[in-house]
Structure 1
Amino acid sequence: MKIIRHLIIVLFGMSCLTANALEDSLAVSNLHTVILDFKSEIKYVDFGSSEIFGSKLSSGKMLSIQAKVPDFHETTLSVVTGDGKFYEFKVYYEKNPNFAVWNNESLISSKDTIGISSTKTIHFLCDDRISDLLVGNNNVIAAYAKGIENIVKVKALKSDFDSTSFVVVTKSGVICPFLLVPNQNPADLSVQIATNHSILTATSESSVLFKNAAVNNLQMQKLGEYVFSEKHSINNIGIIKQRMCFSLSGLYCKDDVLLFRLNLTNNNSIDYEIDFIKVYVQDKKTDKKTAVQEEELSPIYVYYPNNVNKSILKGDSSMSLIFFLKRFTLPPNRILYFEVFEKNGGRHLRFSVSHTEILKAKNI
């Protein structure tokens, strides 16, 4: 009886999927990647032939498909999605398909043609973080600019490659398909992608989205201006030494970034030449015989007010700067340190920030 009951349940489930079956035709090439964009997460995929292949993209709702070889025999592609729908596609070969994206409502073609060179690198700048990159031809390579999530560099490995597809998918799920063609002297070496898929020539003011921060450089500039305009909210963290004062006057949090407002005052008549400022986390020293572990932190951005001299602090003057660090917390046995070093001098200043103070960061 249990076996019969289970069989009935399976047959009922299959009948539900069949009732929702949707059939379509797909033209697939070995030189172009086609993206299938479903409304629900992909649960099951079956390629009817080993001559086609593909993979789920980062969103879980998109599937890439491409041919391994030209002129393959007509085959099938089957997909089941989380909303209970079963999709059956007839897949056939076409060297240059007239669409790049299928989404069950429309077919989107690669309307924008970009010239690619084997001697020059083309940069694509997107106004959103990029989650997936797909190039249809092995003679063209694409990769993220190191440490930056919205800039991609593209280059041809040979000058006479076959035209191919290049698809950028953003974190928010926008698909931007392009057609890449050989051009040893492309008119534009930088291309800006808007998520409405309008293409503009990139300018020097294009916003960069750093890999380790949720805010870009323009936003950080504005945040720095805001924090600099705020009144000091901390007055008990710092050090006074050799007629110098190095202190923390504000601590803020924005998304996944911590902002530390630092003040440096020189009450001497001799100028203070800044060599560098070091930020690091260190274990509390509990035993002289125990080695102290130190972990240096790199700022993702440093804001200086306009017209400030970043390297020399004149006598009887002060300066402020704002350090942007990737958001973090500390256990009770670790301490955050800020240390400023004088170039060719001995006025080194250091102060600490406890784990409890970091938790008091003001949201902005």
Structure 2
Amino acid sequence: MKKSIILFVMAIMVLTVYAQSSDVEVTADEIQEAMLPKPSFGDYFEGYTKKITYDRMIPPYGLEVTFEKTVHIIFPSEISYVDLGSSNILARKATGSENVIRVKAAVRGFETETNMAVITCDGSFYTFNIKYVDEPQKLNVEMRDFMHDGEAVNRPNNALEIYLKELGNESPKLVNLINHSIYKNNKRHVKHIGSKRFGIQYLLKGVYTHNGLLYLHTQVKNDSNVPFDIDFIRMKIVDKKVAKRTAIQETVIYPIRAYNYLTMVRGNKTERSVFVIDKITIPDGKQMVIELFEKNGGRHQQFIVENSDLTRARVINELKVK
């Protein structure tokens, strides 16, 4: 408001001086016209800002939607964020899936083009320009970059290093590369933690740390002929001496990432997973228990992790991640 008053006064002064020097009468309409905003030519703040060049632009994908049919988009990672440009379109995760989104028109025959943005848990960003057509040519779209071979030096087109809240200061891309490296190298640095019952062996093969996160490399070996269907895996901090089990006496730890998460281990097979959790230390008198539960069965497994096992975690040098 103050800035507008100053501009108004300055305009009057300039016009007054001009009128006195040229003997021309200045009308109120001319003063009002002088106060009108001038058209923009694309230079914000009179050229004091830098223009966004085309090499900074993220090219959108073209997507067609309709009212009578649903378009499904399959992403290579779990979807964490979706934003729609207008209410003319609808989008939500497919039921029972975390990496598939379904999109359709909310209004029949809308004319104005709109857009959609998607962020996935691996730190990738996707953007789409969406228009209405009666018959979309592509009803099922896979967003995997088939030209990307997984190496850090050959990055996919959608790799933009978007950081996610649950990973703190760590890049989702780097977390995935570390998980892949641990899984691929398959080293057993921890040799004293595990359990074996009913022909099932459950091991902790290694504990690693990087940038405030812990990586737990586990293995399930099924020496029986009966498949082992995994119901769930639970991690918790409990008292070493528990007189009575109560909710107060245990703290559940929720992994923030799981690499090669298992649902079944077939007979006479071995499978491995890598779990990522926030960095923790275990207080005196407590211990960490990791439990593996069989679905509709009784071959449950569990092993105990001490604080000394976590403090001896191997530090990951990201320059050597493969």
TM-score class, shorter-chain normalisation, is 0.5 to 0.7
| Structure 1 residue 104, shift from structure 2 partner | 2.4
How far apart, CA to CA, are the structure 2 residues paired with 1:164 and 1:246?
A: 54
| Structure 1 residue 296, shift from structure 2 partner | 6.2
Of 180-189 and 168-177, more deviation after overlay is shown by 168-177
Alignment deviations for residues 114-147 of structure 1 (CA, whole Å, 9 cap, x no partner): 3222233435678999877351x32223457799
How far apart, CA to CA, are the structure 2 residues paired with 1:207 and 1:106?
A: 18
CA RMSD of aligned residues (A): 5.6
| Structure 1 residue 242, shift from structure 2 partner | 6.5
**2:217 corresponds to 1:260:** yes
Of 288-297 and 351-360, more deviation after overlay is shown by 288-297
Which aligned pairs between 1:283-362 and structure 2 lie closer than 5 A? Answer: 283-286=238-241, 288-289=243-244, 291=246, 292-295=249-252, 297=254, 300-303=257-260, 310-314=264-268, 319-332=270-283, 334-341=286-293, 346-362=298-314
| Structure 1 residue 258, shift from structure 2 partner | 1.8
Report how many residues are paired. Answer: 253
| Structure 1 residue 244, shift from structure 2 partner | 6.0
Which aligned pairs between 1:188-227 and structure 2 lie closer than 5 A? Answer: 188-189=138-139, 190=141, 192=143, 214-215=172-173, 222-223=180-181, 225-227=183-185
2:234 to 275, 279, 292: 279
| Structure 1 residue 226, shift from structure 2 partner | 1.4
The aligned counterpart of 1:166 is 115
Where is the strand percentage greater, Structure 1 or Structure 2? 1
5+ unaligned residues in a row in structure 2: which ranges? Answer: 7-35, 146-156
TM-score of the superposed pair, with normalisation by structure 2 = 0.54
The aligned counterpart of 1:235 is 191
SS at match of 2:45: strand
How far apart, CA to CA, are the structure 2 residues paired with 1:117 and 1:285?
A: 60
* Residues 304 and 159 (structure 1), Cα distance of their counterparts in 2 relative to 1, 3 Å cut: closer
How far apart, CA to CA, are the structure 1 residues paired with 2:143 and 2:38?
A: 37
How far apart, CA to CA, are the structure 2 residues paired with 1:145 and 1:261?
A: 30
Q: Which amino acid aligns with 2:219?
A: L
| Structure 1 residue 186, shift from structure 2 partner | 1.0
How far apart, CA to CA, are the structure 1 residues paired with 2:190 and 2:254?
A: 22
How far apart, CA to CA, are the structure 2 residues paired with 1:345 and 1:147?
A: 24
Alignment deviations for residues 221-260 of structure 1 (CA, whole Å, 9 cap, x no partner): 84364132x3x21111123557764332222346756242
The aligned counterpart of 1:181 is 131
How far apart, CA to CA, are the structure 2 residues paired with 1:116 and 1:126?
A: 18
* Residues 207 and 293 (structure 1), Cα distance of their counterparts in 2 relative to 1, 3 Å cut: farther
Between the aligned residues of both structures, percent identity stands at 17
The aligned counterpart of 2:202 is 246
| Structure 1 residue 191, shift from structure 2 partner | 6.5
Alignment deviations for residues 285-339 of structure 1 (CA, whole Å, 9 cap, x no partner): 555257233526468435389xxx943444xxx7342232344424426533233
Contact 2:235 2:290 in 1 (8 A): yes
